[in-house]
Amino acid sequence: MKLEAKVQKAMNEQVNKELYSSYLYLSMSAWCESEGYPGCAKWLGMQSSEEREHAMKIYHFIHERGGRVELAGIDTPKSDFKDLTQLFTMVLEHERKVSASITALYETAMKANDYATQIMLQWFITEQVEEEKNANEIVDLLKKVGESPVSLLMFDRQLGTRAAG
Protein backbone atom coordinates (compact mmCIF):
# COMPACT_ATOMS: atom_id res chain seq x y z
CA MET A 1 0.00 0.00 0.00
CA LYS A 2 1.50 3.30 -1.12
CA LEU A 3 1.51 6.29 1.20
CA GLU A 4 -1.47 8.59 0.82
CA ALA A 5 -0.43 12.12 -0.23
CA LYS A 6 -1.47 13.71 3.10
CA VAL A 7 0.47 11.09 5.07
CA GLN A 8 3.54 11.47 2.86
CA LYS A 9 3.45 15.26 3.25
CA ALA A 10 3.15 14.97 7.04
CA MET A 11 5.95 12.38 7.16
CA ASN A 12 8.23 14.66 5.15
CA GLU A 13 7.44 17.52 7.52
CA GLN A 14 8.38 15.25 10.44
CA VAL A 15 11.70 14.38 8.81
CA ASN A 16 12.41 18.11 8.70
CA LYS A 17 11.39 18.53 12.35
CA GLU A 18 13.65 15.67 13.43
CA LEU A 19 16.57 17.13 11.47
CA TYR A 20 15.91 20.52 13.07
CA SER A 21 15.94 18.81 16.48
CA SER A 22 19.32 17.33 15.64
CA TYR A 23 20.60 20.73 14.55
CA LEU A 24 19.19 22.44 17.66
CA TYR A 25 20.83 19.95 20.02
CA LEU A 26 24.11 20.24 18.14
CA SER A 27 23.94 24.02 18.60
CA MET A 28 23.22 23.54 22.31
CA SER A 29 26.13 21.10 22.52
CA ALA A 30 28.44 23.67 20.95
CA TRP A 31 27.33 26.29 23.50
CA CYS A 32 27.95 23.89 26.39
CA GLU A 33 31.40 23.05 25.04
CA SER A 34 32.32 26.73 24.77
CA GLU A 35 30.98 27.40 28.29
CA GLY A 36 33.05 24.63 29.87
CA TYR A 37 30.37 21.97 30.30
CA PRO A 38 31.84 18.98 28.41
CA GLY A 39 29.43 16.50 30.02
CA CYS A 40 26.39 18.47 28.89
CA ALA A 41 28.01 18.90 25.47
CA LYS A 42 28.43 15.13 25.21
CA TRP A 43 24.83 14.46 26.31
CA LEU A 44 23.45 16.97 23.80
CA GLY A 45 25.75 15.70 21.04
CA MET A 46 24.42 12.20 21.59
CA GLN A 47 20.89 13.60 21.59
CA SER A 48 21.64 15.32 18.27
CA SER A 49 22.78 12.02 16.76
CA GLU A 50 19.68 10.28 18.08
CA GLU A 51 17.39 12.86 16.49
CA ARG A 52 19.13 12.40 13.15
CA GLU A 53 18.55 8.65 13.48
CA HIS A 54 14.86 9.38 14.07
CA ALA A 55 14.75 11.45 10.87
CA MET A 56 16.41 8.64 8.95
CA LYS A 57 13.98 6.07 10.35
CA ILE A 58 11.09 8.06 8.88
CA TYR A 59 13.07 8.77 5.69
CA HIS A 60 13.60 5.05 5.07
CA PHE A 61 9.98 4.24 5.97
CA ILE A 62 8.72 6.70 3.36
CA HIS A 63 10.83 4.93 0.72
CA GLU A 64 9.76 1.47 1.92
CA ARG A 65 6.15 2.53 1.38
CA GLY A 66 6.82 3.73 -2.17
CA GLY A 67 6.73 7.37 -1.20
CA ARG A 68 9.03 10.21 -2.06
CA VAL A 69 11.20 12.04 0.44
CA GLU A 70 11.23 15.78 -0.08
CA LEU A 71 13.71 17.59 2.12
CA ALA A 72 13.09 21.19 3.13
CA GLY A 73 15.40 23.84 4.55
CA ILE A 74 16.32 23.63 8.22
CA ASP A 75 15.80 26.73 10.33
CA THR A 76 18.75 28.26 12.13
CA PRO A 77 18.65 27.13 15.77
CA LYS A 78 19.21 29.35 18.79
CA SER A 79 22.89 29.38 19.69
CA ASP A 80 23.17 31.50 22.84
CA PHE A 81 21.69 30.68 26.21
CA LYS A 82 21.56 32.38 29.59
CA ASP A 83 22.49 29.26 31.53
CA LEU A 84 22.03 25.49 31.69
CA THR A 85 18.59 25.78 33.27
CA GLN A 86 17.31 27.91 30.38
CA LEU A 87 18.91 25.57 27.85
CA PHE A 88 17.47 22.36 29.30
CA THR A 89 14.07 24.00 29.83
CA MET A 90 14.15 24.68 26.09
CA VAL A 91 15.02 21.01 25.52
CA LEU A 92 11.95 19.98 27.51
CA GLU A 93 9.70 22.45 25.67
CA HIS A 94 11.09 21.26 22.35
CA GLU A 95 10.48 17.60 23.19
CA ARG A 96 6.89 18.46 24.08
CA LYS A 97 6.47 20.10 20.66
CA VAL A 98 7.92 17.02 18.97
CA SER A 99 5.51 14.82 20.94
CA ALA A 100 2.58 16.93 19.76
CA SER A 101 3.85 16.70 16.19
CA ILE A 102 4.16 12.91 16.36
CA THR A 103 0.64 12.70 17.80
CA ALA A 104 -0.72 14.84 14.95
CA LEU A 105 1.11 12.64 12.44
CA TYR A 106 -0.40 9.55 14.04
CA GLU A 107 -3.87 11.12 13.76
CA THR A 108 -3.22 11.83 10.06
CA ALA A 109 -2.32 8.16 9.55
CA MET A 110 -5.45 7.10 11.47
CA LYS A 111 -7.72 9.24 9.28
CA ALA A 112 -6.11 7.67 6.21
CA ASN A 113 -6.58 4.15 7.64
CA ASP A 114 -2.82 3.73 7.21
CA TYR A 115 -2.18 0.98 9.72
CA ALA A 116 1.46 0.40 8.80
CA THR A 117 2.34 4.03 9.51
CA GLN A 118 0.37 3.93 12.76
CA ILE A 119 2.35 0.89 13.91
CA MET A 120 5.67 2.53 12.97
CA LEU A 121 4.69 5.72 14.80
CA GLN A 122 3.91 3.81 18.01
CA TRP A 123 7.68 3.43 18.41
CA PHE A 124 8.05 7.21 18.18
CA ILE A 125 5.25 7.80 20.70
CA THR A 126 6.99 5.51 23.19
CA GLU A 127 10.31 7.20 22.46
CA GLN A 128 8.80 10.65 23.10
CA VAL A 129 7.51 9.58 26.50
CA GLU A 130 11.11 8.67 27.40
CA GLU A 131 12.53 11.88 25.87
CA GLU A 132 10.16 14.09 27.85
CA LYS A 133 10.81 12.14 31.04
CA ASN A 134 14.60 12.51 30.66
CA ALA A 135 14.40 16.22 29.89
CA ASN A 136 12.01 16.81 32.80
CA GLU A 137 14.33 14.99 35.21
CA ILE A 138 17.27 17.13 34.05
CA VAL A 139 15.30 20.37 34.52
CA ASP A 140 14.18 19.24 37.98
CA LEU A 141 17.75 18.38 38.93
CA LEU A 142 19.03 21.75 37.71
CA LYS A 143 16.41 23.52 39.81
CA LYS A 144 17.71 21.65 42.86
CA VAL A 145 21.34 22.35 41.98
CA GLY A 146 20.82 26.08 41.57
CA GLU A 147 23.81 28.22 40.61
CA SER A 148 26.39 26.53 42.85
CA PRO A 149 29.54 26.07 40.73
CA VAL A 150 30.46 22.85 42.51
CA SER A 151 26.97 21.42 42.04
CA LEU A 152 26.93 22.44 38.36
CA LEU A 153 30.30 20.74 37.91
CA MET A 154 28.93 17.54 39.46
CA PHE A 155 25.79 17.83 37.32
CA ASP A 156 27.91 18.24 34.19
CA ARG A 157 30.02 15.24 35.13
CA GLN A 158 26.85 13.15 35.67
CA LEU A 159 25.45 14.02 32.24
CA GLY A 160 28.80 13.14 30.71
CA THR A 161 28.36 9.53 31.83
CA ARG A 162 25.57 9.00 29.30
CA ALA A 163 26.23 5.88 27.29
CA ALA A 164 25.03 5.26 23.78
CA GLY A 165 21.69 3.57 23.83
Tens-digit pLDDT profile for residues 81-113: 999 999 999 999 999 999 999 999 999 999 999
Domain boundaries, the chain: 5-159
| Highest CATH level, class, for 5-159 | mainly alpha
164 pLDDT above the threshold of 70: no
Contact 7, 117 (CB under 8 A): yes
The whole-number pLDDT of residue 60 equals 98
The whole-number pLDDT of residue 163 equals 73
d(CA 71, CA 47): 21
- Stretch 35-44: mean pLDDT: 97
Per-residue pLDDT band for 165 (boundaries 50, 70, 90) equals low
1 pLDDT above the threshold of 80: no
Contact 120, 61 (CB under 8 A): yes
- Stretch 55-67: mean pLDDT: 97
d(CA 149, CA 151): 5
